[in-house]
Amino acid sequence: MQEFEYCVPTKILFGPKAEEKTGQVVQAEGVQRALVLYGGGSAVRSGLLARVEASLEQAEITYFVKGGVRPNPRMDFALETVREFREKEIELVLAIGGGSVMDTAKAAAAGLASSPEEMTAAFQGQGVLKRTLGVGAVVTMAASGSETSPTAVLSNGDTHEKLVYTDEKLVPRFAVLNPELTYTTPPLQTACGVADILMHTLERYCSDLGGNALTDGMAEALLRTTLHYGRICLEKPDDYEARSELMCCGSLSHNGLTGLGRNNEFPVHQLSHELSARYDLPHGMSLTILWSHWAQAVRSRIAPRLARLGREVFGIAEPDVDKASADCIHAFAAYFQELGLPVSFAQAPAGVVQDEILYVFASNCTDHGTRPLGVLCPLRKAEVLDVYRAANGAR
């Protein structure tokens, strides 16, 4: 087992009607004034927002509400939120929704504790936040794992950039997870959530080659569980067992547990951010478009790793390591397609992309060719371009 530091401070409230305890857990944090953020109208139509508000009122919490967070959340909305509520003496930002709302809540918590300028600078890689407000979450999707993660990702709509900031102070203090809240998640969003969970684990698994047997075993178990119950969630949307298993996998996939002792690099996420920022594609979809092409590009360097992955997760019995690694990549691509997700640009809503745009993507991923993408399997700008071209031409 390799050296690591690990801390997951998020308190999890898991189970049916867990959202009715929201006021109690906010009160236990010593908070008296909260800002509630949510996305579209589903939180209102389902009655979830009303139940959370009733819980806050019962706990005598003063709260303010703002809706309108979009998928692939925008930095300008986070800045608007900060400016709107700066004088309200907010102590905690409560997200009701999925990863987009949680990431917006993290950004708002940062800006409300400092200033819009300092928050923007941090997300642009030009500073470190000295403090943030607390963040809590009532989670409505099994996907991003943002409820236990220190990372927030927002889009700059003007420049088509993804702005990423990671800071332990952004880890939510608590997360409320009721699997029943995910019953009405549309099939495409459910599938994208499954892909996101898988990719958070896959990228960690493929970021190191030696040691960490326990970490490997936990990652493999999480992948098998997600693959199995992901199918069931699409076949039977109101199956509590399936939804509960998937929701738990979502939180565990991004709290660092399956990456203990590893480098935890995320090259496919970096590749995919270019797609979702420019074309507003769902995050999970942008990942499935690119993963198999990245894996094929680095397969010669991590073939034993991929062969083990295929053996432990898919039961691939092929003894030849090279063939088994190829079979593993194919198995994941086939699963993504079974979920109805694309594995190439041609299969995605945006369609085939012009080559000059691929050049821009490759340049952005490598800081204009000044650094490689990835550490274990570094890819230079020309190699990154080849990955994009492979994804663009595959059908």
Chosen domain end from 159, 181, 203? 181
Chosen domain end from 160, 181, 202? 181
CATH of the domain at 167: 3.40.50.1970
Instruction: Please report how many Cα atoms fall inside a 13 Å half-sphere around the Cα of residue 368, on the Cβ side.
Output: 0
pLDDT, residue 261, reads 87
Q: What share of the chain is helix, strand, coil (3-state, %, to 5)?
A: 55, 10, 35
Flag whether 3 is in a domain: no
pLDDT in tens, 249-296: 999 999 999 988 887 889 999 999 999 989 999 999 999 999 999 999
Sort 87 into a burial class: Cβ within 10 Å, 0-12 / 13-18 / 19+: exposed
pLDDT, residue 229, reads 98
CATH of the domain at 376: 1.20.1090.10
Asked if residue 209 and residue 159 are part of one domain, the reply reads no
- What's the total number of domains in the chain? 2
Asked if residue 208 and residue 176 are part of one domain, the reply reads no
What is the chain's Cα-based Rg? 20
Query: What's the predicted TM-score (pTM) here?
Result: 0.94
Asked if residue 166 and residue 79 are part of one domain, the reply reads yes
pLDDT, residue 262, reads 84
Q: Which residues of the chain have pLDDT under 50?
A: 394-395
Flag whether 1 is in a domain: no
Flag whether 5 is in a domain: no
Question: 217: which strand partners?
Answer: none
Asked if residue 373 and residue 270 are part of one domain, the reply reads yes
Helical spans, DSSP H, in the chain: 22-28, 42-45, 48-58, 75-85, 99-113, 116-123, 187-205, 213-235, 240-253, 267-279, 283-309, 321-338, 355-365, 381-393
Asked if residue 249 and residue 233 are part of one domain, the reply reads yes
> For helices 187-205 and 240-253, what crossing angle results, to 10°?
40
Asked if residue 212 and residue 121 are part of one domain, the reply reads no
As a whole number of angstroms, the distance between CA 23 and CA 135 comes to 14
Asked if residue 199 and residue 166 are part of one domain, the reply reads no
Asked if residue 196 and residue 162 are part of one domain, the reply reads no
Say if residues 176 and 137 touch (Cβ distance below 8 Å).
yes
**Residues 6+ positions from 306 with CB-CB distance below 8 Å:** 206, 295, 299, 324, 325, 328, 329
pLDDT, residue 158, reads 82
For residue 311, give its domain range: 183-393
Task: Kindly report the length of the chain.
Answer: 395
Flag whether 6 is in a domain: no
Asked if residue 205 and residue 143 are part of one domain, the reply reads no
Q: Which residues of 309-345 are buried (b: 16+ CB within 10 A; e: fewer)?
A: bbbbbbebeeeeeeebbbbbbebbbebbeebebbbbb
Q: Calculate ∠ Cα 351-354-358, nearest 5°.
A: 100
Say if residues 203 and 268 touch (Cβ distance below 8 Å).
yes
Asked if residue 193 and residue 76 are part of one domain, the reply reads no
Q: Calculate ∠ Cα 226-231-235, nearest 5°.
A: 145
Question: 11: which strand partners?
Answer: 174
Flag whether 4 is in a domain: no
| CA 374, chain centre distance (Å) | 18
pLDDT, residue 395, reads 42
Comparing CA positions, the residue from 249, 283, 262, 292 lying closest to residue 152 is 283
Chosen domain end from 181, 210, 234? 181
pLDDT in tens, 259-270: 888 878 899 999
Asked if residue 69 and residue 125 are part of one domain, the reply reads yes
pLDDT, residue 5, reads 82
Flag whether 311 is in a domain: yes
Asked if residue 136 and residue 281 are part of one domain, the reply reads no
Flag whether 256 is in a domain: yes
